[in-house]
Chain A
Amino acid sequence: MIRVQQEDFDVGLELRKLTENNHSIGGVASFLGLVRDIASDENISAMTLEHYPGMTEKLLEEIEAEAHQRWELDASLIIHRYGRMEPGEQIVLVVTCSKHRKDAFESCEFLMDYLKTKAPFWKLEETSKGGKWVDARDSDDDAASRWHEE
């Protein structure tokens, strides 16, 4: 399941909803991304996430489907927020549920790596010097590319 939304989310509630009626699940892995207050040595007062409505949902559905092909998953969830957020706020949640932990751990990392390099989101940071668009990082491309080799 994927959701692209402006509102915050409740991690505990999301995990419960995903697992409560599925007792074949033996392990749940999750990743929660938060807004930091410092990036590139600058203080950040807030961040605005822009996205491409339509393509974002399509991309997230594609990478989720790929994760289900590559690993044995009983359920999964991707929530990504857009709009303005302040340090400490939750940006993204990826949850993968499987019978065994290996599939859950690996697929969760795969989903985050792919999301970071493919999903059409852009971060604008607010600093004392004004707004600054965040540059993409090579390390994110490297992280995503290792999944091709297996």
Chain B
Amino acid sequence: MGILEGKTAFVTGGTGGIGSAICRRFIKEGADVVAADLSENGTATRFIKYDVTSEDVAKGTFEELAKGWNKLDILVNAAGIEIEKTIEETSLEEWNQSFAVNVTGTFLTSKYALPLLRKSAGASIINFGSYDGFIADPGLAVYCATKGAVHALTKAMACDHGPEGIRVNAICPGYVDTPMLQSFFTGEGSGGDGKSLNDLQQAVRDVHPMRTYGTPDDIANLVNWLASDEARYASGQLWVIDGGLSAQVQQMKL
């Protein structure tokens, strides 16, 4: 018997690299899962077309969900975008779009999910921060800023909704093998010099104490625990999972 048996789950970014791994794991653990995303991408579960930046979409989606579900136990705000630029290169439109998806999206989805979450016997919201919300990667200015905002929002939501029985945590992944990471290495600031992740694999691995970067399943393992009742006392926290990367000071090449 899975540890999420009898639970319902709504995952934004549910067809993305990490989101789809979370959906697969939730299904395996017995949850009833909705993958919400802009486009369907061969998900193994119920798909809802969902734009996290639209208040009308969030409102309408949860009104519709409430007709079939009498409670929501798990909300994962995994939708996110990354722009590989410094602030000087970032246009106002790009800045606003990043905040719209990464921060406003988390706000809107959580806001309209609250009525259903309150009906759960032990609800868990899992936001997506990043180790970039603590220490910056070069050339990711607006991304780092959005993740710092998600971290603070996570603590604020935990304070406000803890008394209602809703736990709120954020997962802060390090380097995880996803299309987003591939894209990061094409950015100028990464120091990748136009090389793909494939070419840079060993160098990226070597900077990690575990000598590897993560997989979406590594992240899904922790999301799964935080979603489960075993984590019933865990709230308001930022959970860094990065193969030990941020435990180190800068690894200088002298």
Question: A and B: real partners?
Answer: no
B residues in contact (CB < 8 Å) with A: none
